[in-house]
Structure 1
Amino acid sequence: MIQLRRYFVAAAALVVPLAAAQSVQAAVTLAPHRAVYELKLRETRGSTQVDQVRGRIVYEFTGNACEGYALNFRQVTEIASDEGGTNVSDLRSATWEDGKAQSFRFTAQNFLNQQLDRDTDGRADRSGGALKVTLKKPAGASSSFDPKTLFPTEHLVKIIEAGERGEPLLEAGVYDGSENGDKSYDTLSVVGEGSDAPPAVLEAPARVQELAKARYWPVTVSYFERGKKADGEQTPDYQMSFDLYENGVSRALRIDYGEFVLDGELKELEFLKPTACR
């Protein structure tokens, strides 16, 4: 059977994800929104057994820099192999991130063929010169990471700020609580030239007033598991490419797992009522 476990953590980094950890700056205002992406197989590589892939991502982001940011995420993916077998992954996660990037809470469940495969519940806090993670599930686990490590929304804001400054490269450690909550990632973000003009090819859901004149950048983020030993040149665990708007909305997703690549087409986009900082 195809080994599925490592294939269903990438998209949650849409906020998906820098030297010192800093407070989220008010100059970047992230828009509360709900987006739905349809996943399709773009290409396969090497000797992979993957034959067909289809799926869907539902991504709901709310909050502000004062009250913190909440993300509810679900990715259902069906993978068919050339041996005739089909496996379904259903990843459900909920996170909350302090607007000053001092605390991060997360829960996640991953089901493989309707059977619970992974159940994670924990929090991460900046304390005593370290990023300390405490897990309820798996029970009793804890770990510490470099205090410069960023949380997902903090990372997103840094990428947007790099785009606004015209900086093409951004390196950062990122912790997002994925898998068993015991890993962090080194990331390299390549930020292309920004534009205010709508793309030549644009999905119907993106043809809305909120994006019509919004600046956006083509972004590719490569994720490398920190501390993972590699023979020869290290390759990313996975890569994500997307067009990132200045309000935090993403479209034109591409998720590269090495053995196969998925495209994510924006199918629905709803802007939610924002809440003002008090």
Structure 2
Amino acid sequence: MVHLFRTSLGVMALAAASVGLGGVAEAANGPFLAHQALYDLRLVKSRTNSVNSARGRILYNFTGNACEGYTSEFRQVSELDSGEGKVTLSDLRSNSWEDAAGKSYRFKIETRMNEADAGRVDGSAERDGDHINVKLKLPAPKTFTLDGKIVFPTEQIQRIIAAAREGKSLLELSVYDGSDDGQKVYNTLTVIGQPIPADRATSSDPSTADEHMKSLKRWPVTVSYFDRDAQQKEGEQTPVYAMAFELYENGVSRQLVLDYNDFVISGAMGKFDVKDSKPCN
């Protein structure tokens, strides 16, 4: 159950992404918005008999500006009941920073399952010409290089929004977020639906009631994540997982659906707060 309730930095950058601009008023009219979002997780369906129930929460904070870079803090606590008293509790915490140009990325990730010792990843990545240099401190010191075409999480969401605005329906990107053991790269396929007008009636949540969001259009988006190494060796394959959501043009997302192949989890926004952001001087 390596990917049990696994939500990488890249996925949550999509699920709750926001990029701080020079204050709330400016962010309301700009392309991105700094905020905190809380999502309540529940089991939608199970495709096997291995999952009877599931619940949890995701808390996500994103702050920063184009001068200082963007910082995200994320925590996901989940409980999975597989029947006969077998309950798995997972606790994933991460903290990351990325500069506005997508050249530098730092990350710390901690994963705990039940009472087992926490697994930790700590590292950084620097873009240098046509490649990316990665330095890991944990789980073990290691340096390696990646293809320079790979993007970090904030650039990923920037490119998805840009593609949506251009009317594109498909976008392929390779993404590095430091998840798993710090060495994994995912190939992603993003499917973008037709824009949803701001005035279209929809199920309500704290984001739809917020004044910063009422005038914004959004897109239905599905991002599928593939194991890059396995795909290169074996060709076509089933996604490791996929996420569907509605993406606002300022980067905020709602109505999450996490598909882990064996089971599907929904994430309803339970709380949404716009955050002040230091002006970029």
- TM-score, normalised to structure 2, is 0.89
Q: 1:232 to 1:174 in 2, by over 3 A?
A: closer
Is the 1:59–1:74 Cα contact (8 Å) retained in structure 2? yes
* 154-163 vs 106-115, greater mean Cα deviation: 106-115
Paired residues for 1:174-189 under 5 Å: 174-189=175-190
2:274 to 253, 260, 271: 271
2:242 aligned residue (233, 239, 244):
239
Identity %: 41
- Among residues 13, 16, 31, which one is paired with 1:15 in the alignment? 13
Q: Deviations over 1:154-211 (max 9, x none)?
A: 0001111111111111110111111111011110101111122244212245311111
Shift in CA distance, 128/232, structure 1 to aligned 2, threshold 3 Å: closer
Cα distance in 1 for partners of 2:124, 2:201 equals 39
C-alpha distance in 1 between matches for 2:235 and 2:72: 37
Once residues 235 and 96 of structure 2 are traced to their aligned partners in structure 1, the CA distance between those partners, rounded to angstroms, is 36
1:223 is matched with which residue?
A: 225
8 Å CA contact 1:14–1:250 kept in 2: the answer is no
Q: Structure 1: any 5+ residue segments left out of the alignment? A: 18-25
Aligned partner of 2:64 in structure 1 is: 63
2-side partners of 1:77 and 1:168: how far apart? 32
- Deviation string 1:123-165 (CA, Å, 9 cap, x unpaired) is 0111252112110001212222110101001000111111111
Deviation at 1:7, TM superposition (A): 2.2
Match of 1:248 in 2: 251
Q: Give aligned pairs, total.
A: 266
Report the 3-state secondary structure (helix = DSSP H, G, I; strand = E; otherwise coil) of the residue aligned with 1:42. strand
From the superposition, tell whether residues 163 and 123 of structure 1 become closer, same or farther in structure 2 (CA, over 3 Å). Answer: same
Q: Aligned partners of 1:199 and 1:63: how far apart in 2?
A: 32
Contact preservation (8 Å) 2:207, 2:213: no
- Distance in 2 (CA, whole Å) between partners of 1:68 and 1:38 is 28
Give the AA of the match of 1:8: F
Deviation at 1:14, TM superposition (A): 2.5
1:146-165 to structure 2, matched below 5 A, reads 146-165=147-166
Quote the Cα distance in structure 2 between the aligned partners of 1:101 and 1:28.
19
Whole-angstrom CA distance in 1 between matches of 2:63 and 2:200: 25
Check whether the contact 2:107–2:123 (CA below 8 A) recurs between aligned residues: yes
* Residues 130 and 149, structure 2, Cα contact 8 Å, conserved in 1: no
Q: Which residue of 2 aligns with 1:38?
A: 40
Cα deviation for residue 118 of structure 1 reads 1.2
Q: 2: CA distance between counterparts of 1:199 and 1:10? A: 30
SS in 2 for 1:228: helix
Query: Who is 2:79 aligned against?
Result: 78
Q: What is the match of residue 132 of structure 2?
A: 131
**Native 8 Å contact 1:49 1:83 kept in 2:** no
The one-letter amino acid of 1:200's match is T
The DSSP-based 3-state class of the residue aligned with 1:243 is strand
- For residues 90-101 of structure 1, what are the structure 2 equivalents within 5 Å? 90-101=91-102
| 8 A Cα contact 1:51 1:81, kept in partner | yes
CA separation of 1:11 and 1:250: change in aligned 2, threshold 3 A: farther
* Distance (Å, rounded) in 2 between the aligned partners of 1:143 and 1:48: 40
